[in-house]
Amino acid sequence: MSVNQQRFDAVCARAREAMILHSTADTLEWDERTGLPIAAGEYRAQQVSTLRALVHQRRTDPVYGEDLLSLVQECGDEDPHGPIAATIRELHRDWQRDCKLPTQLVERMSRATVRGQQTWDAARKADDFSMFEKTLEHVIDLKREAGERLSEGTDRSVYEALLDEYEPDARVEDIQQVFDNLREPLVQLIAAAKDAPKQPDISILERTYCMENQRDFSHFVAEQTGFDFDRGRLDETSHPFCTTLGPNDCRILTRYDPHWLPAGLFGTMHEAGHGMYEQGLRPDWFGLPPGSYVSLGIHESQSRLWENQVGRSRPFWEWLYPQALEAFATQLEGVSLDSFYFAINTVRPSLIRVEADEATYNLHIIIRFDLERQLIDGTLSVKDLPEAWNSRYQSDLGICPSSDADGVLQDVHWSAGLIGYFPTYTLGNVAAAQLFDAASDQIGDLNELFAEGEFRLLLDWLRERIHFDGRCYSGADLIQRATGKPLCSTHFVNYLKSKLEPLYGITGS
């Protein structure tokens, strides 16, 4: 039996039409986050939610679903990882998922999370968790209900069904394994860095860095590493992100801080890494699974790889530092490459996730992963969350937030209903290190290339091994195929140790 071409074309046309609506809503959101007049917010919210509802309608249309079902039955002879079979399989999967959630529940979640984010914002400003408690309870209840419906008839737990939206097919057990192997070596490394004989001078990075020069410099770095400015642009916002508005239109956004050089510079490299992944997807399959990113963990592996494995490496700065000295002549006067390199690789436990270094960052994630599972399975009540949060920070990082704003209220995710999202950040860190090692093995000495400002070979390798396939393989399959083994934490731990131990003068453990 072979795939009915007319039916396949009709399904693709329907999916592309939904993507046109979806990307139009994304365009409006990009505009909202780059410079919407404050009074225009309410109408903009109506515009976006109207478009999102139309997308949901298109994607749950019964005729579309029937066509997909027929195509699933017809595509037995297709190569399962070819674009046709992948399109059918993944669109069917999306359709099943969308249909499991009644429109009424989707609407209730949408209202609860809009309200959730507003309440969270107010509670964080007032530094008062009690203002947020009831709203969060409501969001968690709705997410639990959604997770129960999504897990029905599958062998997934309620939490796994929620996680599946961001990291398809991921299992809690596997993530737990990766995190368990990560935790102890990280705790030891962080403690060793704290008591180490050598310490960085981070004040170098806190001098006043002119915003205009930061903009030019970040643009230069993004362009040199491979972000295509003919098919994308770089703008500013308060919470950096990357969004793709069309097959040749990728927007990255960053935030410059005049007294903290890494915010804008590494923020740009991070978002450019996301952007290069999006630009490496096949434009002719835009709006369909072969032209879509596979998972948030893989997405994050691309941003982290460029931000950290490349951007925080010494060879990279051997190439870039002379240019940094020109761009920031007064700020970096008399600062050696070694001092600068040490400063950008500081490890220091701190309370805020988004400001955390490469090593401690993952402890922040592990805490959230543990707590959100307890919230969903009901073993932790929202009222007890601040206390649970603080005690985990004390035991895991050795520091305790003195306020909810610096503790349990710091992240928007839970208020926005993003449960199962946090673990993808650390999965990305772990995958980045593993991919980077595989690329080094296969390409040759990347350090030599970086020292000459040459990044093309690395980008081409990522394009071929990760970007090109879109959703034709699962994220786990892509890692296996690119690196020859499943995701494991060893590469990341070794990467951190081999960089940080010499910097801090720690004798290897």
Footprint of Zn ion (CB under 5 A): 300, 303
Q: Which is nearer to Zn ion, 200 or 420 (CB)?
A: 420
φ and ψ at residue 454, rounded to 5 degrees: -110, 115
What type of residue is 59?
R
Q: Which is nearer to Zn ion, 300 or 372 (CB)?
A: 300
User: Residue 160 catalytic?
Assistant: no
Kindly state the smallest distance separating residue 297's Cβ from Zn ion, in Å: 11
Kindly state the smallest distance separating residue 252's Cβ from Zn ion, in Å: 10
Q: Which residues pair with 235 in a beta bridge?
A: 253
Q: Which is nearer to Zn ion, 249 or 300 (CB)?
A: 300
Q: Which is nearer to Zn ion, 293 or 328 (CB)?
A: 293
Cβ neighbours, 10 Å, residue 180: 11
Contact present, 426 and 485 (Cβ < 8 Å): no
Kindly state the smallest distance separating residue 242's Cβ from Zn ion, in Å: 7
Contact present, 363 and 217 (Cβ < 8 Å): no
Give the three-class secondary structure for 429. Answer: helix
Q: For residue 496, what are the contacts with CB-CB under 8 A and spacing of at least 6?
A: 186, 189, 358, 359
Kindly state the smallest distance separating residue 304's Cβ from Zn ion, in Å: 7
Q: Which is nearer to Zn ion, 273 or 470 (CB)?
A: 273
Choose, from 29, 90, 271, 278, the residue flagged as catalytic. 271
Q: For residue 294, what are the contacts with CB-CB under 8 A and spacing of at least 6?
A: 168, 469, 470, 471, 473, 474, 475, 478
Q: Which is nearer to Zn ion, 235 or 454 (CB)?
A: 235
What end-to-end distance do the CA atoms of the chain give, in Å?
60
Kindly state the smallest distance separating residue 273's Cβ from Zn ion, in Å: 8
Q: How far is CA 461 from CA 268, 277, 403, in A?
A: 21, 12, 45
Q: What share of the chain is helix, strand, coil (3-state, %, to 5)?
A: 70, 5, 30
Alpha carbon distance 361, 376 (integer Å): 23
Kindly state the smallest distance separating residue 54's Cβ from Zn ion, in Å: 28
Kindly state the smallest distance separating residue 108's Cβ from Zn ion, in Å: 29
Contact present, 404 and 129 (Cβ < 8 Å): yes
Question: Among 391, 387, 406, 375, which residue's Cα sits nearest to residue 137?
Answer: 375
Contact present, 229 and 223 (Cβ < 8 Å): yes
Q: In the sheet where 242-246 sits, what is the strand order?
A: 232-236, 249-254, 242-246
Alpha carbon distance 463, 459 (integer Å): 6
Q: Which is nearer to Zn ion, 132 or 277 (CB)?
A: 277
Cβ neighbours, 10 Å, residue 187: 17
Nearest-CB residue for Zn ion? 303
Give me the active site residues, please: 271
